[in-house]
Structure 1
Amino acid sequence: MTTNALSFPMPNALGSIDQYISAANRFPMLTEEQELSLARRLKQNNDLEAARALVLSHLRLVVSIARNYLGYGLPHADLIQEGNVGLMKAVKRFDPDRGVRLVSFAMHWIKAEIHEYILRNWRLVKIATTKAQRKLFFNLRSMRSQNGEAPHNLTQDEASDIAQKLGVKTEEVFEMESRFAGGDVSLEGSGDDEDEHRIAPLAWLADSAPEPSEELATAQHERLQDEGLRNALASLDERSRAIVQRRWLIEDGELAATLHELAAEYGVSAERIRQIEVKAMQKMRGLLSAN
């Protein structure tokens, strides 16, 4: 069988996850010799066609691993996609001279990417942030799923038994179990119920009044802006200053002067007024940015 990746069919525009899985399972599996040859081509020559062949021949592995994580309620296609990212990372880091098949090496990378995706998306707020918490998260769900237990509060004996098997403290098992049980709460409420929005967390958590530090910072910023603007205007010649003021610093309710109106007043062309305005604005920007 040829190892030319160009002979591998691509599952483009398949339209459904079932069609994708079917196509992935049709990709030829590589013999050990073919795998080593492709891996060496990739490592020694950065041969992207070899990398493509290695990835495509292991898509079925990603599909198989992703199927084990369907219990988290996340889209199967997304789990497969994240697993494919892990597979590509594994192919990039695979060393053909270590005496290990790619399938064994890639499993770790595939699972790692799927785990990271689940932890990012299973809850709006992360429930496992440390390495130990992540391990407990997946092992605890796996153990309870394998035991066929309906959702219920763990007893002291159950938690102690799980803690002993996983090598963690009983308190840590209870804490993770409470995180499982806790659902997400919308800050803004949901639906069109006005009462629900009134009692939503966003209605009573936020304080609309600015903090004193924010008020001081705002006042200081405005003072510096006004002072800087006055200094920048003072640096212009009289004509340039008048043009900028009548074009940009008008009072509320007034209309800005047009280029043609100013041109008629100063006896020059509208283009000349535009050039004066551009030059003056550039000078002012330089002075303001330096402050």
Structure 2
Amino acid sequence: MGKSLQTVEILAPGQNLNAYMQVVNSFSILTAEEEKELGENLYYREDLEAARRLVMAHLRFVVHIAKSYAGYGLSQGDLIQEGNVGLMKAVKRFNPEKGVRLVSFAVHWIKAEIHEFILRNWRIVKVATTKAQRKLFFNLRGQKKRLAWLTNSEAEAVAADLNVDVKNVREMETRLSAFDAAFDAGADEDDETAYKAPANYLEDRRYDPSVMLENADWTENSVAGLESALELLDDRSRDILQQRWLSEDKSTLHDLAGKYGVSAERIRQLEKNAMKKMRVSMEA
């Protein structure tokens, strides 16, 4: 199979990463002159073949970066694929007139896509949402590879390096040390272990006397307010609302129009005005 056919699947590494890496490494590295020429063809002429060659020549660089994130417990193939997305975004935005090599420009985009993928998939609950938390997550994660719980001096040093409070460092350290737990007991768990599920520790307030009394009072007050508001309406308006909203066999606008000898639009207007009067009465 020639390279032209291989490149159809090259951006989506499968389970055979060794074969993928072998193909990636078979593409020659571009010289500065070749890269500038391809970059100009893409930037000024929107040459898609130039874009393809720029991407293919830098796929090995994505693999190199993705390997540095192997300690997060995520698929290496997925990390590479996300990095490839970042590479393609970088190629699309690459300006050869800036005098910077594509590899230097693309590293930000590649890492950004990998970081986003890790944060989405590392835990069920997202561990970092703000920019400061993300920076702290990846820096502290690197520290935790060689350290147990940070001492006070180590936490202070990390906080000083990243320009954050020690409190933020401790909070992120706790998040890194946590693990996902199922809310409900698994179907295969027996009675001796199922009780540990968090769902079993929620308070059931459905039969709490205070809650039941509160709900009963709310219902009674609502019904009383509705009845009082209906009494303020004229007979026709009251009947329209009862037929349209309070009857089990509800009437249509056309049904009521025939009953009162007016248009359906007039019934709609009467209904709207009656609802407005009731709302004012019940909110008073």
TM above 0.5, yes or no, is yes
User: Conserved in 2, the CA contact under 8 Å of 1:9 and 1:27?
Assistant: no
Contact 1:11 1:23 in 2 (8 A): no
Distance 1:165 1:185, change over 3 A: same
Alpha-carbon displacement from aligned partner over 1:69-114 (angstroms, at most 9, x marks no partner)? 0001110000001000100100011101000000000000000000
Aligned to 1:56: 56
TM-score, normalised with respect to structure 2: 0.69
Query: How far did 1:157 drift?
Result: 1.9
> Aligned to 1:167, which of 163, 166, 189?
163
* Number of the residue aligned with 1:66: 66
Deviation at 1:193, TM superposition (A): 1.5
Identity of aligned residues (%): 48
Q: Residue 227 of structure 1: CA displacement?
A: 7.4
CA displacement, residues 204-242 of structure 1 (integer Å, 9 cap, x when unaligned): 548696x96xx98xx99xx749679521673899xxxxx
Unmatched tracts of structure 2, length 5 or more:
227-243, 259-267, 273-284
Q: Which residue of 1 aligns with 2:178?
A: 182
- The TM-score normalised by the length of structure 1 is 0.67
Q: Aligned partners of 1:38 and 1:225: how far apart in 2?
A: 73
- Within 2, Cα distance between the matches of 1:110 and 1:165? 24
Distance 1:110 1:97 in 2: 21
Q: Deviations over 1:245-271 (max 9, x none)?
A: xxxxxxxxxxxxxxxxxxxxxxxxxxx
Residue 158, structure 1, aligned to residue 154, structure 2: yes
Shift of 1:158: 1.9
- What residue in structure 1 maps to residue 9 of structure 2? 12
Whole-angstrom distance in 2 between the partners of 1:18 and 1:206: 53
Map 1:247-262 → 2, pairs under 5 A: none
Distance across 2 between alignment mates of 1:141 and 1:193? 33
- In structure 2, the residue matched to 1:242 is none
Does the 8 Å contact 2:15/2:77 carry over to 1?
no
Q: CA RMSD in A?
A: 3.4
Q: Does 1:118 align with 2:139?
A: no
Contact kept? 1:8, 1:53, Cα under 8 Å: no
Q: Deviations over 1:4-30 (max 9, x none)?
A: xx8685263875111111111111111
Q: Tell me, in whole angstroms, the C-alpha distance in 2 between the residues paired with 1:117 and 1:8.
A: 28
Partners of 1:75 and 1:124 lie apart in 2 by 16
Secondary structure, aligned partner of 1:188: coil
Amino acid at match of 2:7: M
Question: Which residue number in structure 1 is paired with residue 134 of structure 2?
Answer: 134
Residues 83 and 114 in structure 1, CA contact (< 8 A), matched pair in contact too: yes
User: Could you tell me how far apart the structure 2 residues matched to 1:225 and 1:98 are?
Assistant: 72
Indicate how the Cα distance of structure 1 residues 38 and 226 shifts in structure 2: closer, same or farther if over 3 A, else same.
Answer: farther
Letter in 1 for 2:47: D
